[in-house]
Amino acid sequence: MALWGGRFEEETNREVAKYTESISFDRRLFRHDIAGSIAHVHMLARQNIIPQATSEAIERELLKIRDRMEKGDFEYSIELEDIHMHIESALIGVLGAEGARVHSARSRNDQVAVDVRLYLRDQIDLLLEKVEFFQKILVERAETDKRAIMPGFTHLQHAQVVLFAHHLLAYVEMFGRDAERLRDCRVRLNRMPLGAGAIAGSTLPIDRASVAEELHFAEVTRNSMDSVADRDFALELLSDLAIFGIHISRLSEDIILWSSQEFDFVELSDDYCTGSSLMPQKKNPDVAELSRGKSARLTGDLMTLLTMCKGLPLTYNRDLQEDKLAIFDALDTATAILTVYPGMIAKMKIKADHMRARAADPYLMATDMAEELVRLGVPFRTAHSRVGSLVKYCRENNTSPEKLTLAQMRESIPEATEAFLNLFDPEASVAKRESEGGTGFRSVERQIAYWKERLA
């Protein structure tokens, strides 16, 4: 009979047991479940709810169970539903009546809430390490190739000359915000729900603050009904991971474009690509493509959890058991991405000469010409239209701005000076963009220095 079987006359139908179990996926919470139980029995003993000796015996057995689970030397069965029941029933198996005291003033509703919070707190710490390591790799890459220039794109059309490092550092910013969001999520997650019981708190003289302290929670939750119903912390985490996935997907798309024959800006290392089973010449950017694909899972996991919580009446409902599938999938997906991506970026070769050749497109300097006119006192709109007519002139006459004589240039831009003939050097164009946050060499150096210090 199940631990809750007192009022039941029939055993659970086998198909129903299979349908309702969560042990197949929540067993990964075992360490955190045991940590929660140990802090709980410590408190029960301090409060004289159970004898000190019982608390000690329970702790000793819990640690043994943890070791067995750690070693894979523990038998799981769907009859016991979930990780909480497995651990409690193993405890009772050894300690009998003494073990049966562990669940005093506790319900699986507050137990699962504390377990998941403890687990996610550790997972966030691991993710933060990985995100920051990845940022370091991107910054190193930016520094190694800090002179490389490339065309910058808007609308996927040549826009202005930029440093390749500047482009990479844009992603360092995105992943920096991802890390900020994870840290912020950790603050609201770090509140202790145990003691809420099933819904309404306990009639026993529990001391929640001391449990929070032992488990390193910053505070206790204030409302027992909210404590067992709330999954905001998981929603926040999955939103953060979905946004992270969007960033990875955009970076992946850039890398896929860059490694195409059309762009030909980078070459991925062979060990991060695969070939085609049919076309012998192919070398495909699979890691980038799969990461773009996997980011869809992150968005999907967030949608799953949002939809699950929508319309749920207070408080705990069994629907919430399914939260773990979305949460674990998102964590595993983000972790897998962050495990392979740094190596791919570190080993990616850039084709600096080819990128530079593409950046030498004189039309990329059209804005520089307009700004040169502004410097001479021409209102920007007028300057824009002058340069626009120059572009039109060149297209119509099948020529290019850097080939024009000053006289030809003056047909479109009467204010043009000698200096206008020398505006087409891509390095010079980059060097002039030293406004804060711009792509200028010194501005990029400053960004690199900032991140090196931040990530040290």
Which residue, 294, 295, 322, 328, is CA-closest to 308? Answer: 322
The alpha carbon torsion through 83, 85, 90, 93 (nearest 10 deg) reads: -170
Q: Which two tokens stand for residue 165?
A: 């490092």
In angstroms, the CA 215 to CA 36 distance is 7
Contact residues toward ligand ARG (CB under 6 A) are 22, 26, 82, 108-109, 112, 318, 320-321
Kindly provide the b/e burial profile for residues 43-58, where b requires at least 16 CB atoms within 10 angstroms of the residue's own CB.
Answer: bbbeeebbeeebbebb
- Long-range pairs for 58-64 at CB < 8 Å and ≥24 separation? 58/91, 58/95, 58/98, 58/99, 58/101, 58/102, 61/90, 61/91, 61/94, 61/95, 61/99, 62/34, 62/37, 62/38, 62/87, 62/91, 63/34, 63/38, 64/94
Minimum CB distance to ligand ARG, residue 88 (Å):
12
**For residue 421, with 0-12 CB atoms within 10 Å meaning exposed, 13-18 middle and 19 or more buried, which class applies?**
middle
Q: Which two tokens stand for residue 123?
A: 């997972």
Count of Cβ atoms closer than 10 Å to residue 243 Cβ: 18
In angstroms, the CA 272 to CA 445 distance is 29
Minimum CB distance to ligand ARG, residue 17 (Å):
13
CB 127 within 8 A of CB 335: yes
Provide the terminal-to-terminal Cα distance of the chain, rounded to the nearest Å: 56
Minimum CB distance to ligand ARG, residue 82 (Å):
4
In angstroms, the CA 119 to CA 70 distance is 15
Kindly provide the b/e burial profile for residues 426-440, where b requires at least 16 CB atoms within 10 angstroms of the residue's own CB.
Answer: beebbebbeeeeebb
Beta strand spans in 14-123 (E): none
Nearer to ligand ARG, 112 or 243 (CB): 112
Which residue, 200, 217, 199, is CA-closest to 208? Answer: 217
Q: Which two tokens stand for residue 384?
A: 């824009």
Q: Which residues pair with 150 in a beta bridge?
A: 162
Question: Which positions are catalytic?
Answer: 155, 276
